[in-house]
Structure 1
Amino acid sequence: MALSLSCRRFLYRQHPTFLQCRQSGYIVMLPDVPLHSDDNPLLRSDEFQDFSGLTVRKCYDGVVRRALDFEAGFWRVEKHIKGKENMSEVDLFQEYLCPTEELSRPLENAYNAVKIIRQTTDLLNSEKYGKIASRAALALDNKYSSPLLYYSCKSALSQSTSLQDDQKRLLKKFTLFGKLNGLELSNSNYEALVAIRKETLKNQTNYNNKIEHESRLFKYPIGDPHMMKNVPQHLLKAMSDGLDPSRGPWTVRFLTIEPFLEFCPDALVRDKLWHERVTFGLNNELTKLNAEVDHIRHSRKREAKILGFRTYADYSMESTMAGSVDNTLNMLDHLLEKARPAQAHEIESLNKFAFQSGFHKPLAFWDVGYWKNEQLNKTYNLNDNTLSDYFPMETVLNGLFSLLYDLYGVEVQEKSGVPTWHKDVRVYEIFDKTGKSPSAYVYLDPFARSGKPYSNGVALTLRNRSLVGEGQSPQVGLVFSFTPPTPGKPPLLSFKNVVDLFARFGYATQVVLSKSAYAEVAGTSFIERDAVEVPAHFMVHWAFTPSVVQRISGHYESGEKLPDTALNNLDKIRRHMAGFSLCNEMYKCRLDLELFATDIPWKSVMDELWPRYSAFPQDPLDHSPMSFYQIFNDSSSCYYSNLWSKVIAADIFTAFEEVGVDNKEAIRAQGER
């Protein structure tokens, strides 16, 4: 596609700040150029990433080397474009966008490999990983901060009528990102924006380092086996300090406080752990978070103002389905109308149950999780450890794969011989309808182990689909903390594990089923932030569908399907205390939006919101907003996205229910829409 002549006028208007940033970047980095090394797997271009022998140094050197290669290559591409005498002869896609994608691919793949190492080992702490992430982001930002590329895409988008859908999305992405990177600002405002973002990054780095430092320091030992008798196996494994998780000793750490509270029978311990959680970083002068939180909020506001938005919350809505803060608040208010009364009824019922069970004082917030589980077990006779006997991991996976075939017409087969980061990791090939060759790959790292961070489920894109140049197949990594097999027992999943597995495979479908020709807009790369989790929540609905539960269940000894009584009670489990859970989630959503839409001190925001969303009195020691780390990193004003995705997913699943969830032909037609 030829560039408009109007772009040519722009070639003579260099953006001084951009050039200065690029030039100074090279001056800083050149003395620390890592050499190409055959023994660094991040510097090899193979169909499957080799993870063997990775060290902190190799992770850093590999990403930095790839970053420098990209920057040098991108500079050459732009030099070629600027050297054209007649800009109408430039093919925007073939000479500019496609070469840029080919150049960025090795860097993105190396960086994604480091991300999965971060999620599955203790090799990289926040400080070490932060340096790698910052260097990768600095390099990749070049393509979204290039005035030449921005105005070229903007011109092509406004003038061409023959673009394919993929091409339109690609141009829209570069246009939107360029605008939000300040490429239409005056030089002085652009310089101010760069300085503000540098300041924000510095404060985020300090914040994350403090969070990690305090997290590593927190340890609460437990030696009494009675305290652990109802704890699920996967959580026992994560908390165990010995070779035998069933015998202990055990330690509660920061990431396991909340899940452990649901099974802790000692009210005093629940009280102590909950207060440790909500006063996190408050008592240690070296790790107090107030200053960083205030700085991040302030710099976010300044950033939004420079870009022409009233608040940072308004700025964050630019790439969302919601479209505006008002639309988001309307959703929260609408849900609150039913959820708040439901919560009051649920807490009243739970108080009565706890009293009848011998707990003769009003429940506190930290008691809810434990008594919720007790009520579930006694009302529906469903215990996670008993249920897990009916969900061997292999049976669940086979049932899940058959469901994916029914929905999308894809077949999943295990593939051997692929290098992975640990011996437990499995690799699956995804075959589309043609069945001729695999179209995508899924890495599954299922089990808890020493040194692996505890997780309810993480999905990471390792490679996006691309048809540019040599191309590449999409790859996604799924990470869990399931209980590993034991002598005489295969790996068994709790029903919560099953739900988590379905959710993360739902996320993976966006990556592996993508048909985009360009990695820049494949998978989740250019999906609205509040729609990214829609496929995950959509798959969760299937996990509760009776016919699917029968498909994925089978007692590990007898093969017997889940009994009808338990099957009928599963949906009741899902709805149990739903009002309380929804109100708690909405409180966090609203807190996030208010913190980045106002200048009001965080404590005042909390004081105003808490009674609106909670049936419990506010604890004066509660400083939990300080450790709400998601919103002080890259998800500011976007915490609501998960809830928005749930609402959309529920609507989509309703369409499948209307045609019949057991009607394979009908659901295939719906799934392929």
Structure 2
Amino acid sequence: MASFLRTSVLARYLKRPFLQNKRNSGYVVLIPEIGEDSDKNVLLTDNGLPEFNDVTIEKCIAAISKLSLEYETGVKQIEDSCADCKNAFVEIFQPLEKIDNHLELTWGVAKTLYLGNSSLMPTASYIQIHQRAHRARSCKFNSILIYNAAINEKNRLKKLTDEEQRLLDKYILEGKLNGLDIKGLKREQLDNILNLLQKERQLLRDKVNMATNMFSSFINDEQLAKELPESLAKAMSVNNNATKGPWKITLQPHIYEPFMQYCPEQTLRWNTWQAHVQRCSGYSNKDLETSTHVEQIRKFRTQQANILGFETYADMSMETKMAGSVESIYNCLDTLRNSARPVQDIELESLQSFANERGFDRKLERWDIPYWQRKQKWSLFNFDDDKIREFFPLPRVITSLFNLCSTLFKIQIVERSNVHTWHKDVKFYDIYDESSNTPIAGFYLDPYARQNEKIRIYDDAGWHVSIRNKCSLTSTHPLSALIFNFQAPTEGQQSLLSFKEVSVLFQRFGHALRHLLTKANYSEVAGLSNVEWDAADVCGQVMTHWLYDPNTIRAISGHHNTEEPLPDEIIENLQKVRSHMSGYNLCQELYYSRLDLELYSKKTFWRDLVKELWPKYQALPFDKYDSHVLSFTKIFSEEWGAAYYCHLWSKMIAADIYSAFEEAKAADQDILTISKRYKECFLAVGGSCHPSEVFRRFRGRDPSPQALLNNLGLSNEPIVLEE
């Protein structure tokens, strides 16, 4: 990829010292009283920020209980005004905004503590808080009176803004999907189906967790352990010491994924892989088998969709997606597969030769790919994600990231001291725009892993928590928490990030900017609220593209001892690293995306679907004992059923957006003009306009997968998606 960050424009900003405590202006947020018999909010300090130093489980539960009851009472009072409503925005939706604001912050505080310090907010306590708050907030979307008021307001012969239209559409769609149009016996059937569905999802989740936790294997060979990165060896050591065993292999994602990449012993890789793909199958512990639950979940979701007027659950899912239809997604997936599948054959042939040349005398199997893929990447490009940590000390990366955003989006990010947090490592930052001397938003940053305190999942190495949305009616500003599991600094050494972790940091922060820089007035459609699922990750993915610009990566990187940037050889190879085995990697994503949609579009038994789809996307043969569907919790027990494709769709949209910056460079145009348009179209608008329209405003056309294929080195002829 061509470099286009001119040193005179952006790169110099990336290197400048980061602003520290230059402004002390705070902002006061007026939140109604919560807590038990208190004349003030026990969860807020005088500056309007949460009192994290003094938050207890008891206070959170008491506050949520009181606020939830007040919320439900408030909704009933608003319902009373629906019958004689003359202006739904003034009489219904603005009052709903006010009571939302009361509940939102306490719920956000609880979630932040759950992810940031589970000793202060254990899982059981958070689930209790979450369920109570969710039940309260759902009551407005289950109100027939409010639903009808939204329909009536939409049918009035008056012009609505994009934001007002989206607000009404949200209430109408939520009501429709909650079955507010369904009466009598069908309503009873729907309620019964949803109850049964929830039980099946919980049973599947519990069994997968138990199956995951049951497996363990131990390594006592110190020489083998030396092959593992220090961070992994430490995480696996039963003594929490990288150099002292034994080392425990588990199926926990943050252990399993890197272990498969670094373990040199094929037998250990096979044993771990087969335990992973056979979880909850009839080939292992039959008490934990989930095939019946999978089929029941599929059946109940189909029945749910049918009652609500949809042919399939996948069709129902499209109501909340940018793609709009299953056919549009299939067209996209097929286009990408046509480019990726032939390349996969070539990549695997190359990898086989590479492994053979290094003494591997067998045919590569699926449990061998991660290990040899990493080895080949190092051989070809001098790139090992763990070995280049020393060039990415966290303080430098954060400073450069903030300065890049400051330059692109005309904002200042300033650390504020004396803010109460849930841990001494947590910092708080105010965001100012170029036209304001008071903050427009604020966020907490909690960067380091803390054993037994933080949840740790491999593909969610960081979280963005929307603690509070922007709401013009109540004059409240966005508030977020960014929580990561990066290596903590040790005595005499800063926290060092792998390139993957740098990407995670950029991705989460870009995601957070959509929440923090929103200009919408209604909290229900501000920032990330109401953004279609397959467009929700777009802004985060756009941010990661900057890491492939040479000037940007030179400014971000610096050896923790010498401050020398990442070697030119590696910088020049970053694009090649991204496209290394991209056909194989993309086909994995395409397969799971298609499988998910097929599972919720057809009645075919899950294993038959797998056998049908596998050869279309996978070059390696299917293992007859492979039962990966049975532990596919994201689409069964979580919320990603008929939506797994969303991450890939967001990547496609983000690549297309970022290509506008590349085109500007090629045409010798001002990049900051593109940045301004991106900020106005995506970061400012959030969920107050449909993402298809937002994209057209930015690019002047509909999206294409061409930019994604270009990035992955899979490009052939220009491609445009058909409507």
Matched, 1:580 2:584: yes
Q: Which residue of 2 is the match for residue 519 of structure 1? A: 523
Higher alpha-carbon deviation: 98-107 or 367-376: 98-107
Residue by residue over 1:127-167, the C-alpha shift from the partner in whole angstroms, topping out at 9 and shown as x without a partner, is 66444433332221111111111111111112142333322
Query: Residue 623 of structure 1 is aligned with which of 617, 622, 627?
Result: 627
Query: Residue 96 of structure 2 is aligned with which of 96, 100, 104?
Result: 100
Q: Which residue of 2 is the match for residue 454 of structure 1? A: 456
Deviation at 1:569, TM superposition (A): 1.0
Matched, 1:314 2:292: no
Q: Which residue of 2 is the match for residue 185 of structure 1? A: 182
Deviation at 1:589, TM superposition (A): 0.4
CA contact 2:68–2:103 (8 Å) conserved in 1: yes
Work out the CA distance in 2 between the residues paired with 1:645 and 1:226: 42
Q: Which residue of 2 is the match for residue 21 of structure 1? A: none
CA contact 2:43–2:55 (8 Å) conserved in 1: no
Give the SS at the match of 1:428.
strand
CA contact 2:35–2:59 (8 Å) conserved in 1: no
Deviation at 1:72, TM superposition (A): 1.7
CA contact 1:390–1:561 (8 Å) conserved in 2: yes
Matched, 1:466 2:490: no
Equivalent residue letter for 1:258: E
Work out the CA distance in 2 between the residues paired with 1:185 and 1:266: 58
Deviation at 1:611, TM superposition (A): 1.4
Residue by residue over 1:639-658, the C-alpha shift from the partner in whole angstroms, topping out at 9 and shown as x without a partner, is 00111111111111111111
Residue by residue over 1:163-217, the C-alpha shift from the partner in whole angstroms, topping out at 9 and shown as x without a partner, is 3332222111111111111122233323322222222222222222333333344
Give the SS at the match of 2:319.
helix
Work out the CA distance in 1 between the residues paired with 2:677 and 2:220: 53
Q: Which residue of 2 is the match for residue 669 of structure 1? A: 676
Q: Which residue of 2 is the match for residue 17 of structure 1? A: none
Change (3 A) 1:562 1:330: same
Equivalent residue letter for 1:167: E
Residue by residue over 1:295-344, the C-alpha shift from the partner in whole angstroms, topping out at 9 and shown as x without a partner, is 21111001100111100000000121110011111111111111111111
Equivalent residue letter for 2:154: L
Change (3 A) 1:68 1:459: same
Give the SS at the match of 1:423.
coil
Q: Which residue of 2 is the match for residue 6 of structure 1? A: none
Work out the CA distance in 2 between the residues paired with 1:251 and 1:102: 51
Q: Which residue of 1 is the match for residue 400 of structure 2? A: 399
Equivalent residue letter for 1:652: I
Matches within 5 A, 1:92-491: 92-123=88-119, 129-253=126-250, 254-255=252-253, 256-282=255-281, 283-451=284-452, 452-455=454-457, 456-469=461-474, 471-491=475-495
CA contact 2:177–2:308 (8 Å) conserved in 1: yes
CA contact 2:72–2:139 (8 Å) conserved in 1: yes
Deviation at 1:608, TM superposition (A): 0.9
Query: Residue 511 of structure 2 is aligned with which of 469, 488, 507?
Result: 507
Residue by residue over 1:86-108, the C-alpha shift from the partner in whole angstroms, topping out at 9 and shown as x without a partner, is 443xx322321122222123333
The two structures have a TM-score, normalised by structure 2, of 0.83
Work out the CA distance in 1 between the residues paired with 2:627 and 2:55: 39
Change (3 A) 1:37 1:240: farther
Query: Residue 656 of structure 2 is aligned with which of 651, 655, 659?
Result: 651
Deviation at 1:574, TM superposition (A): 0.8
CA contact 2:45–2:51 (8 Å) conserved in 1: no
Matched, 1:590 2:598: no
CA contact 1:656–1:670 (8 Å) conserved in 2: no
Q: Which protein has greater RCO, CA pairs closer than 8 Å, 6+ apart?
A: 2
CA contact 1:36–1:43 (8 Å) conserved in 2: no
Change (3 A) 1:417 1:217: farther
Q: Which residue of 2 is the match for residue 15 of structure 1? A: none
The two structures have a TM-score, normalised by structure 1, of 0.89
Work out the CA distance in 2 between the residues paired with 1:319 and 1:42: 37
Deviation at 1:411, TM superposition (A): 1.5
Q: Which residue of 1 is the match for residue 18 of structure 2? A: none
Work out the CA distance in 2 between the residues paired with 1:100 and 1:45: 25
Change (3 A) 1:464 1:606: same
Work out the CA distance in 2 between the residues paired with 1:209 and 1:508: 31
Deviation at 1:419, TM superposition (A): 2.4
Q: Mark the runs of 5 or more structure 2 residues left unpaired by the alignment.
A: 1-33, 681-723
Give the SS at the match of 1:422.
coil
CA contact 2:408–2:672 (8 Å) conserved in 1: no
CA contact 1:411–1:432 (8 Å) conserved in 2: yes
CA contact 1:228–1:263 (8 Å) conserved in 2: no
Equivalent residue letter for 1:577: M
Q: Which residue of 2 is the match for residue 602 of structure 1? A: 606
Work out the CA distance in 1 between the residues paired with 2:63 and 2:370: 44
Residue by residue over 1:227-264, the C-alpha shift from the partner in whole angstroms, topping out at 9 and shown as x without a partner, is 34354454445434435445455433322212321111
Change (3 A) 1:48 1:271: same
Work out the CA distance in 2 between the residues paired with 1:268 and 1:41: 58
Deviation at 1:62, TM superposition (A): 4.0
Work out the CA distance in 2 between the residues paired with 1:545 and 1:241: 41
Equivalent residue letter for 1:97: F
Higher alpha-carbon deviation: 380-389 or 363-372: 380-389
Change (3 A) 1:534 1:308: same
Q: Which residue of 1 is the match for residue 19 of structure 2? A: none
Change (3 A) 1:467 1:114: same
Work out the CA distance in 1 between the residues paired with 2:563 and 2:335: 45
Deviation at 1:480, TM superposition (A): 1.9
CA contact 2:236–2:247 (8 Å) conserved in 1: yes
Work out the CA distance in 2 between the residues paired with 1:240 and 1:42: 42
Q: Which residue of 2 is the match for residue 5 of structure 1? A: none
Change (3 A) 1:567 1:230: farther
Work out the CA distance in 1 between the residues paired with 2:220 and 2:356: 28
Higher alpha-carbon deviation: 345-354 or 437-446: 437-446
Change (3 A) 1:589 1:476: same
Deviation at 1:486, TM superposition (A): 1.4
Change (3 A) 1:499 1:230: farther
Work out the CA distance in 2 between the residues paired with 1:57 and 1:202: 28
Deviation at 1:404, TM superposition (A): 0.8
CA contact 1:237–1:448 (8 Å) conserved in 2: no
Equivalent residue letter for 1:505: F
Give the SS at the match of 1:468.
coil
Q: Which residue of 1 is the match for residue 683 of structure 2? A: none
Q: Mark the runs of 5 or more structure 1 residues left unpaired by the alignment.
A: 1-33
Higher alpha-carbon deviation: 576-585 or 415-424: 415-424
Deviation at 1:369, TM superposition (A): 0.7
Change (3 A) 1:604 1:38: farther
CA contact 1:406–1:667 (8 Å) conserved in 2: no
Work out the CA distance in 2 between the residues paired with 1:446 and 1:561: 22
> What's the RMSD between the two structures over aligned residues?
2.5
Equivalent residue letter for 2:36: H
Residue by residue over 1:546-604, the C-alpha shift from the partner in whole angstroms, topping out at 9 and shown as x without a partner, is 11101101111111112211110111111111111100011110111011111111111
Q: Which residue of 1 is the match for residue 700 of structure 2? A: none
Higher alpha-carbon deviation: 121-130 or 541-550: 121-130
Work out the CA distance in 1 between the residues paired with 2:527 and 2:276: 35
Higher alpha-carbon deviation: 123-132 or 338-347: 123-132
Work out the CA distance in 2 between the residues paired with 1:629 and 1:52: 35
Work out the CA distance in 1 between the residues paired with 2:542 and 2:384: 25
Work out the CA distance in 2 between the residues paired with 1:234 and 1:503: 22
Equivalent residue letter for 1:392: P
